[in-house]
């Protein structure tokens, strides 16, 4: 049994009805688990303290968030990425975000002090937030808070980011961090926000060779994604020897996602999550924290994260989803929902995509492996 960290206050992290980053995703998921008869009994975290936020973000930026949070954003808020289309501000934004950061921190504490091995944080994954910049729906960087906590306990961390967007916030906050291995698999920044995450961004100073980016072609499907994951991730973990894994499990590489162009099915996600669990058993005695992340198709994100939940609980995967749940959310969202946990079948990449991804990943390894000696 993997403990689940969650707080109803997570639902306050809400940018409004038109915004794609919606807490409805967690509500659908929790409703699904409860409808299926799972006792949903999460560990309730405290919000992160102001000091914990300040360990990541500049004083000027935190003041901007606090001002915006009272409904009076400062005139230069947009210099800090606030009051923008992606990060509009709302009453209580500071506290709402601190609950999410507190949750990821709490999960990290449970793993670091040995009270749990694998923990699922049902929120967070705000990987775009930078030192003094809100970006890509992210206000405070909960992942960096967890990384800092682990490092403070003397643990070496491998951060694995499978969100379809490059994990730029975490990368830049830890670009020269020698105790953190970053692995980000994403759609190429040539086509997708935030534009970074090339194979040449490999870290700086003592962190050189520790920041690995696998930029994948639009159209990358199950086969090629898993192939490139295998080429890079196990190899890097075996070399680095982490004490704990931190996984940002964004669900937006799914083929139904409206904001990106990878084509993963739930079959790839199942294989990916099983492999991550296996790798944590092999390298970190099972120690791993999983967070959520992007995922903008409600039907797909809910099924991907339900899969993650069942795999972490070591429970059999359901085939068909409960009809009353399907009816309820179909009416609410005015959309059709996939009646089964899995998509009908795995997806296949074009030959051109497979060849291109192979070449990119090989060039990545040629660049970083010499730094590993």
Residue 125 backbone class (left: φ over 0; alpha: ψ -120 to 50; beta: rest)? left
Query: Using CA atoms, how far apart are residues 40 and 27, in angstroms rounded to an integer?
Result: 12
Count the neighbouring beta carbons within 10 Å of the beta carbon of residue 282: 12
Query: Going by C-beta distance under 8 Å and a sequence separation of 6 or more, which residues neighbour residue 49?
Result: 98
> Which candidate, 198, 200, 191, places its Cα nearest to that of 218?
191
Query: Going by C-beta distance under 8 Å and a sequence separation of 6 or more, which residues neighbour residue 221?
Result: 255, 262, 263, 264, 265, 268, 346, 347, 348, 349, 353
Provide, rounded to whole angstroms, the least separation between the CB of residue 86 and another protein: 5
Please identify which of the residues 57, 106, 127, 128 carries the catalytic annotation.
128
Cβ-contact 77, 66 below 8 angstroms: no
* Residues found in the chain: 373
Provide, rounded to whole angstroms, the least separation between the CB of residue 294 and another protein: 8
What the block records as the tokens of 111 is: 């793993």
Q: Is-catalytic flag, 200?
A: no
Q: Which is nearer to another protein, 82 or 279 (CB)?
A: 82
Beta strands of the chain (E only): which ranges?
A: 4-5, 118-121, 157-161, 180-187, 211-216, 244-248, 288-291
Q: Which is nearer to another protein, 151 or 343 (CB)?
A: 343
Provide, rounded to whole angstroms, the least separation between the CB of residue 132 and another protein: 12
Q: Which is nearer to another protein, 87 or 268 (CB)?
A: 87
Kindly tell me the burial class for residue 287, based on how many C-beta atoms sit within 10 Å of its own C-beta (0-12, 13-18, 19 or more): buried
Q: Which is nearer to another protein, 200 or 320 (CB)?
A: 200
What the block records as the tokens of 4 is: 């689940």
Provide, rounded to whole angstroms, the least separation between the CB of residue 51 and another protein: 27
Residue 288 sits at the vertex; the CA angle it makes with 43 and 27, to the nearest 5 degrees, is 45
Provide, rounded to whole angstroms, the least separation between the CB of residue 189 and another protein: 8
> In the complex, which residues of this chain contact another protein (CB under 8 A)?
20, 78, 84-86, 128, 133, 135-137, 165, 168, 189-196, 218, 258-259, 261
Q: Which is nearer to another protein, 220 or 280 (CB)?
A: 220
Q: Which is nearer to another protein, 99 or 137 (CB)?
A: 137
Q: Is the torsion defined by CA of 80, 81, 84, 90 positive or negative?
A: negative
Provide, rounded to whole angstroms, the least separation between the CB of residue 269 and another protein: 21
Which are the catalytic amino acids? 128
């Amino acid at each position: 049994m993997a403990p689940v960290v969650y707080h109803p206050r997570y639902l306050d992290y809400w940018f409004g009805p038109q915004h794609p980053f919606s807490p409805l995703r967690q509500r659908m998921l929790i409703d699904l688990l409860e409808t299926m008869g799972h006792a949903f009994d999460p560990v309730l975290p405290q919000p992160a303290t102001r000091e914990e936020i300040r360990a990541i973000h500049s004083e000027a930026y935190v003041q901007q968030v606090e001002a915006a949070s009272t409904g009076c954003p400062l005139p230069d808020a947009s210099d800090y990425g606030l009051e923008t289309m992606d990060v509009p501000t709302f009453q209580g934004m500071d506290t709402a975000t601190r609950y999410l950061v507190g949750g990821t921190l709490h999960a990290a504490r449970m793993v670091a002090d040995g009270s749990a091995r694998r923990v699922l944080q049902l929120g967070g994954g705000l990987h775009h937030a930078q030192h003094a910049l809100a970006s890509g729906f992210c206000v405070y960087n909960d992942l960096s808070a967890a990384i800092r906590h682990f490092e403070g306990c003397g643990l070496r961390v491998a951060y694995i980011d499978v969100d379809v967007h490059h994990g730029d916030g975490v990368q830049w906050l830890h670009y020269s961090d020698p105790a953190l291995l970053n692995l980000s698999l994403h759609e190429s920044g040539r086509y997708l926000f935030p534009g970074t995450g090339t194979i040449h961004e490999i870290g700086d100073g003592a962190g050189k060779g520790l920041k690995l980016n696998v930029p994948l072609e639009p159209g990358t499907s199950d086969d090629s994604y898993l192939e490139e994951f295998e080429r890079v991730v196990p190899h890097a973990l075996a070399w680095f020897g982490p004490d704990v894994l931190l996984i940002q499990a964004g669900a937006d590489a799914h083929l139904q996602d409206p904001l990106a162009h990878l084509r993963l099915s739930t079959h790839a996600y199942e294989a990916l999550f099983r492999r991550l669990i296996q790798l944590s058993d092999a390298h970190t005695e099972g120690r791993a924290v999983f967070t959520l992340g992007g995922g903008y198709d409600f039907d797909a994100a809910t099924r991907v994260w339900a899969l993650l939940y069942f795999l972490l609980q070591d429970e059999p995967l359901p085939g068909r989803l409960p009809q009353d749940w399907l009816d309820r959310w179909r009416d609410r969202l005015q959309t059709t929902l996939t009646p089964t946990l899995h998509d009908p079948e795995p997806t296949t990449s074009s030959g051109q995509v497979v060849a291109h991804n192979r070449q990119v990943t090989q060039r990545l390894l040629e660049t970083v492996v010499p730094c590993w000696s």
